[in-house]
Structure 1
């Protein structure tokens, strides 16, 4: 039997097209075969620097075959796993968040390639044009809810050996932003009072 290659073990080669390719072991399949992460660069020096950073990041990490999942696939599995442990109303809200606000924008991206910048871009998109029916932006509370759910789901992915780190930890939770309240002028208030004087219930109230 071949010796099991430890996570963080890497190798470098020059491709036929002139570019340099590096790969490191980031985990193992159930049968013991290694799972590789591939890195590319135009020069050997550039690749060496990238490879060194990746080796440090993945040293001691043991990813599973589920690391090949897309974000959408992981979220679908995660929802099935937590369904018995949360309220039906919470599950419905999470399912709607995944279906309407995450999958359409980044559901097909491999979960191991999701970065903090990707998630921030998602939040910005949702805030400006997240409503697919009207094209309007979502409320800040809704975007904050997306962040909270993603943080929980990706945290579980890290715990399960699907990703190395939780990219939501690179970001601050989106802030609440309240729209300015419209206050009636004296003229508008007087007009309002005139209208309800004919209704004894509302006028007394």
Structure 2
């Protein structure tokens, strides 16, 4: 492998790489452009030769990032849910492409990405009203990181420039504690909702920690009132286009949730009422029926559930998702081990649970310290009395 440089004009260099085709023995020449001084051109030439010798060389291409993102979105479409693909497409085409889309993919550098994030935070809104939130820019980074990782696997780039960004150069998110509801307010909300259709969703969120999509996907065949448990095996997903589909539980993990006696009682009562409701419509209720339904028995849409519950809960300043967080808060405040909280909520790891509810940990640490202190003091006092 040989390489040479040639100055085309002041500050512009051609890097010529010569190699032999292993099949024919004929010489093949590859050209690269470089902008800078002679030493920089020599360094780049040496780097390219090293990549070719090491098998990491990537053919030069004029493919832009925008063109690649379009290709990548088509590639991942069969492998992700419609809602996930919709979200990736929005971020890639509406947030990333306007800032970096014109860049040639093979020439994209970490500094280009870092500058794009800064610009997005400062003036990234499409309506010109200011910058995007750190959380949105963080999602941009995750999508770009994933897309460029695929480009690296396809050998379109030598390395993923998004992976080369230091942590301090990535968007930072300040996690805001989610509003929760305490026991007295929960009791008041239950009383106000008892005769309404949204009462059972409140029960499932507050007493069982189910997500919105898990509530709307739950069927009676997954509820065992005699054993006092339910199985979360599916979740309902709704796209911006209004399409609704049932998919497997989040992270692909089904889980079993033990039901508090109050939940068992209310679900028993509701099943009788729902069956009577169906009979009046000339329909026989069976185990395939959804637990939460419209009056005519059709499943409730996730966004409809959010709208009705959010409107109802305005008085208490909490959302439907806030009820799920309230369930976790109540458990942790009662010294339930975080591992149990993780299992009930369906988090993929205990680290996620600890991260989300870290603001509750100082109180738990104080109680733990007091417990340890009490045990040791008792032991020390007993030893003193025995010696005396």
Same fold (TM over 0.5): yes
Deviation of the 1:105 alpha carbon? 1.2
- Within 5 A, what are the aligned runs for 1:88-107? 88-107=82-101
Q: How many residues align?
A: 170
| Counterparts of 2:36 and 2:134, CA distance in 1 | 40
Q: Does 1:55 align with 2:49?
A: yes
SS class of match (1:135): coil
Q: Does 1:153 align with 2:147?
A: yes
Aligned to 1:12: 5
Cα deviation digits, residues 48-87 of structure 1 (max 9, x gap): 234224433554224257x431000000000001111101
Aligned to 1:132: 126
| Counterparts of 1:86 and 1:100, CA distance in 2 | 19
Aligned to 2:186: none
Contact in 1 for aligned 2:5/2:15 (Cα 8 Å): yes
SS class of match (1:120): helix
Aligned to 1:22: 14
Aligned to 2:106: 112
**What's the RMSD between the two structures over aligned residues?**
3.1
Cα deviation digits, residues 93-136 of structure 1 (max 9, x gap): 11111121111111011001111000011111111111111432
Q: Which has the higher contact order (CA 8 A, sep 6+)?
A: 1
Contact in 1 for aligned 2:135/2:173 (Cα 8 Å): yes
TM-score normalised according to structure 2 size: 0.39
Aligned to 2:135: 141
Deviation of the 1:35 alpha carbon? 4.9
Contact in 2 for aligned 1:10/1:22 (Cα 8 Å): no
| Counterparts of 1:103 and 1:46, CA distance in 2 | 30
Aligned with residue 39 of structure 1, among 34, 56, 66 = 34
Aligned to 2:172: 175
**Cα gap change, 1:75/1:20 in structure 2, threshold over 3 Å: closer, same or farther?**
closer
Deviation of the 1:38 alpha carbon? 1.9
Aligned to 2:115: 121
| Counterparts of 2:176 and 2:13, CA distance in 1 | 51
SS class of match (2:31): strand
SS class of match (1:161): coil
Contact in 2 for aligned 1:144/1:174 (Cα 8 Å): yes
Deviation of the 1:178 alpha carbon? 5.1
Aligned with residue 79 of structure 2, among 82, 85, 91 = 85
Rg larger in structure = 2
Contact in 2 for aligned 1:26/1:36 (Cα 8 Å): no
Q: Which runs of 5+ in 2 are unaligned?
A: 179-314, 317-388
**Cα gap change, 1:122/1:40 in structure 2, threshold over 3 Å: closer, same or farther?**
closer
Q: Which runs of 5+ in 1 are unaligned?
A: 1-5, 182-201
Cα deviation digits, residues 132-177 of structure 1 (max 9, x gap): 1143221211111110111110011011010001001111242212
| Counterparts of 1:34 and 1:74, CA distance in 2 | 26
**Runs of 4+ in structure 1 displaced over 6 angstroms?**
none
Q: Does 1:74 align with 2:68?
A: yes
